[in-house]
Structure 1
Amino acid sequence: MPLEIITLPCLSDNYAYLLHDAKSGQTALVDAPEAAAVKSALSTRGWGLDAILLTHHHYDHIDGVDELRRSYGAKVYGAKPDTHRLPPLDHALDYGARFELFGEEVQVLDVSGHTIGHIAFFLPESQAVFTADSLMALGCGRLFEGTPDMMWDSLNRLMALPPQTMVYSGHEYTQSNARFAVTIEPDNAALQLRVDEITKKRAKGEATVPSRLQLELDTNPFLRANLDKVKSAIGMEDAENADVFAEIRHRKDTF
């Protein structure tokens, strides 16, 4: 059975995720922006916490780890190349590693770019990928540490996943990402429909994540830098895909 996945708002605009296995009663957390919201969600459901999976070292993804580990004895998983700036890890994971979580395989993907050492967790059985600040709903993370080529390679790894995969990203940035996306592809009908849906959801205070990978492929400008129509739209018809991505990222940074 696929895991039950709970989207958990944290801080002002972060998301963490609870992964619960009904058969064993075990629960994991992807990223720990804060302890209070996680503990409240666990208490409401009567769940413990057995594992914490970390995507990258930024404070708004790890600040709750120490308190949650003390309270529940959860084992912490994170990227081996980033151990020097993550909380102490019980399981240091290499890029490309696979491990079992509550009987389900988890694949560790290198999605460096936003940071060096950023990883994503892909669960084929649950058809879910946890991307934090790499691939985001209608966007991608700023390149604080990596290069455009690096991030484009990372996004291509994610684009190669099955299109029905649900993308669980790290922040509620979708509405602002949508305002930018329409400047790149104002005539994209799928994007226009998505913008309307996002507007309605946010008006009701609803989360816009997760999103289906196919929807990102159809509407997210950062995943469409390889398309002739996008290259033409920004006047880069003969440019390499990574260079087009870099230009789109630059435009978003100054938007």
Structure 2
Amino acid sequence: MSVLDIRIIRCRTDNYAFIVHDPESGQTMVVDTPEFGPIDAELEKEGWGLDLIVNTHHHHDHVDANLALKEKYGAKVLGPKHDEGRIPGMDRGLRDGDGFSLGDHKFDVIAVPGHTLGHLAYYICDQKAVFTGDTLFSLGCGRMFEGDAETMWHSLDLLRHLPDETLMFCGHEYTLNNGEFALTVEPNNKALQERVAEVRELLRAGKPTIPVTIAREKETNPFLRPESIEIRENLDMMGVENYRVFAELRQRKDNF
């Protein structure tokens, strides 16, 4: 089986879209469509068509180019069934546990509500990569616009239990700001210190800070680390449930 070619496409000011191409079948998909121009330019450069548009959630900066891309390339649009009517051009609604394929590569659909109630993540089974939209960011997580802390924590807990080697692709370049916040709650975490230094170097070189493995996120991302003694001591939250630690972290990040 061929290895999927995953292209990271910078859109707007800090959004990412992901073009996924299967060289064996020639099929191509895009995860989220913040902006037509950069996505179309990459497809044109490679001479690829576009078979699928797959949206993680309904926010405009993830779906704005759906209709223009669908019109040009004839792609089918897949997205959260929960957000039917809010995903432009949607042909098939997806729910937790559903799947779809690109060539011979199977994608699992994982419900990860909290940022929005219909938010989905997409996991490539054979290649161990996951597209997390705005639920999980590198060193951070999304704001809770539609869900509560317990719901969001459950979603993050699902994602952190993916295989350690899974590569995580998220919807925004927020890593440096997330890292600066993370250091305020877990300043003695050596892995976090090293990751923030690496992030600064990547950004200085004009490179994206993703993908990153789930294993590395579990070592460095405070929103995946509510069990951390240092975090709990700094928040004065020893002996409480993980989701309550998460809620306090999210509130502090909102005000950071």
Specify the TM-score bucket, using the shorter chain as the normaliser: over 0.9
Contact 1:2 1:125 in 2 (8 A): no
> Which residue is 2:138 aligned to?
137
Return the alpha-carbon distance in structure 1 between the equivalents of residues 235 and 161 of structure 2.
25
Say yes or no: does 1:41 pair with 2:33: no
Deviates most, 87-96 or 119-128: 87-96
Q: Which runs of 5+ in 2 are unaligned?
A: none
Q: Report if aligned partners of 2:67, 2:89 keep a CA contact under 8 Å in 1.
A: no
User: Any conservation in 1 of the 2:28–2:102 contact (CA below 8 Å)?
Assistant: no
Q: 1:55 deviation in Å?
A: 0.3
Q: CA deviation at 1:24?
A: 1.2
Q: CA RMSD in A?
A: 0.9
Q: 2:167 — aligned with what?
A: 166
Whether 2:19 is the aligned partner of 1:18: answer yes
**Which residue does the alignment assign to 1:72?**
73
1:54 has 2:55 as partner = yes
Deviation at 1:211, TM superposition (A): 1.1
Give the equivalent residue in structure 2 for 1:9: 10
CA displacement 1:40-93 (0-9 Å, x = unmatched)? 011111111110010000000000000000000001111111112111322211
- Bigger CA drift: 13-22 or 198-207? 198-207
1:1-255 alignment, distance < 5 Å:
1-255=2-256
Contact 1:113–1:143, Cα closer than 8 Å, also in 2 = yes
SS of residue paired to 1:208: coil
Instruction: Give the letter aligned to residue 214 of structure 2.
Output: L
Give unpaired runs (5+ residues) of structure 1: none
Cα distance between partner residues in 1 of 2:190 and 2:7: 30
Q: SS at the partner of 1:191?
A: helix
Q: Secondary structure at the match of 1:85?
A: coil
What is the CA–CA distance in structure 2 between the aligned matches of 1:196 and 1:227, rounded to whole Å?
A: 21
After the TM superposition, list the runs of 4 or more consecutive aligned residues in structure 1 that deviate by more than 6 angstroms: none
SS at match of 2:84: helix
Q: Provide the C-alpha distance between the structure 2 equivalents of 1:226 and 1:96, rounded to a whole number of angstroms.
A: 28
Is the CA contact (8 Å cut-off) linking 2:139 and 2:220 kept in structure 1?
yes
Specify the SS of the correspondent of 1:16: strand
Determine the C-alpha separation between the residues in 1 that align with 2:205 and 2:29: 28
The one-letter code matched in structure 2 to 1:93 is L
Higher alpha-carbon deviation: 238-247 or 77-86: 77-86
